[in-house]
Structure 1
Amino acid sequence: MSNRLTARRYAKALLQIGDQQGNVPQLQQELETVAATVAAHADLTRLVASPLVLPRKKAEVFETILASAKVSGTLRHFFSVVAEAGRLNLLSDIRHTFAELVDERAGIVEARVSSAQPLSDAQSKALVASLAARTGKTIRLSWQQDPTLLGGLKVQVGSTVLDASIQGQLRQLKTQLLSA
């Protein structure tokens, strides 16, 4: 089974627990904090990734860290199960998938925009409104500069890519001219 699929199962289980307890936002915040803490400390990152450290030992060390960080009992128990199953190395994937599931439930979708120049506020608002009308969902825009683009932009929403770049328009024109 792939790591992404395994991480999705753990994230779904944590989401179900959060639903039962009514503390999904708290669990999401704590999960973000734990993942950021692990990513920020090289020793913790090595501990999580190391196949040489026994899962039981990882669980004990992680429990100590989480208890001192005053993480909820629910998340501590969750990480105990994950660590003892030898899946602590999936922490980043579990965090990412959990956030995706929470967003999916709330009807939020991320649109990744690449352009040669930053978008103005008016352009961003117009793009968000257009994508929201097209998808029927709330749009969270993330932008990155792509110096390879001469102009225009590329937008990725889920697995759909909308290419409104100059290069994309030239490719379409070439295809039309060759097929005519």
Structure 2
Amino acid sequence: MADLSTLARPYAKAAFDYANENGVVNEWENFLFIASRVVNDKSFSTWLDNPAVSAEHKSAALVDLYDTQVAGSNDSAFKQLLDKNQGAQPSADTSYPKVSVALSNFVKQLSEQERLALLPEVYEHYRRHKAISLKQLDAYVTSAYPLTDAQRETIQTRLAASLNASVVIHESVDPSLLAGATIKVGDKIIDDSMRGKLQQLKTQLTA
């Protein structure tokens, strides 16, 4: 049997091709991100495997969850998770559109073919299609303290110039770095943290 990644590829391509042609790439990506997180939840995955639950009910549950927890006006953990994934500061004022008919039908098709478990892989392949289309790269920045707007803009501008690509920053905080930050883009890691510099110094002194 083909692995999940192989099975997910045609669904991801079909999803991206449609979204790209209709100018809804970000909307579909946002839904796939949240849906992939939900499907990875152990309790939800067990529910998905229940043959007593209809395919229509399963797909509707995912769509309803997104519409109420993300597209709804109130703040929620899912909305904060989505904001963070986009490199933005979580805000209750951020608004996202509800799931479209086309996207709902796509989820329904996955459910009818018993492929909802592929959503995490579909999301990853979808992101790769988007990155290739936009020449976009993800930069994972871990800093000792939360980045200021000025620091975020400086990092993004410099990376975009050096990599000749659009850069999306994903932020996290690790106080153990002491100061500075580490930046990971693909397989490359830039360590400009105080902890990293101290480790380098220690290596040089003991060499």
TM-score when normalising by structure 2: 0.63
**Which residue of structure 2 aligns with residue 61 of structure 1?**
57
In structure 2, the CA distance between the partners of 1:4 and 1:170, relative to structure 1 (3 Å rule), is: farther
What is the SS of the residue equivalent to 2:142? strand
Matched, 1:71 2:100: yes
SS of residue matched to 1:140: strand
How far off its partner does 1:122 sit?
A: 2.8
Counterpart of 2:14 in structure 1 is: 13
Q: Is the 8 A contact 2:59 2:111 kept in 1?
A: no
Q: 8 Å contact 2:139–2:169 — kept in the other structure?
A: yes
1:164 to 187, 192, 207: 192
Question: Structure 2 unaligned runs (5+)?
Answer: 65-97
Match of 1:88 among 94, 101, 116: 116
Q: What residue in structure 2 maps to residue 135 of structure 1? A: 163
Q: Give the distance between the partners of 2:99 and 2:170, measured in 1 at CA.
A: 32
Per the alignment, residue 102 of structure 1 pairs with: 130
Q: Distance in 2 between matches of 1:79 and 1:100?
A: 20
Amino acid at match of 1:72: V
Name structure 1 gaps, 5 residues minimum.
none
Cα deviation, 1:26-47, whole Å, max 9, x if unaligned, reads 364156347647978xxxx737
Q: Does 1:118 align with 2:152?
A: no
Q: CA RMSD in A?
A: 3.6
CA contact (8 A) 1:152 1:165 kept: yes
The number of residues matched between the two structures is: 170
Q: Write the distance in 1 (CA, Å) between the matches of 2:26 and 2:153.
A: 27
Which contiguous aligned blocks of 4+ residues in structure 1 show a shift greater than 4 angstroms?
33-40, 62-67
| Residue matched to 2:4 | 3
Identify the structure with the greater helix proportion.
Answer: 1
CA distance change for structure 1 residues 2 and 159 in 2, over 3 Å: closer, same or farther? farther
> Structure 1: how far apart are the matches of 2:30 and 2:155?
28
TM-score (norm 1): 0.71
Shift of 1:108: 2.1
Contact 2:36–2:120, Cα closer than 8 Å, also in 1? no
Give the 3 Å change call, closer, same or farther, for CA 7–175 of structure 1 in structure 2: farther
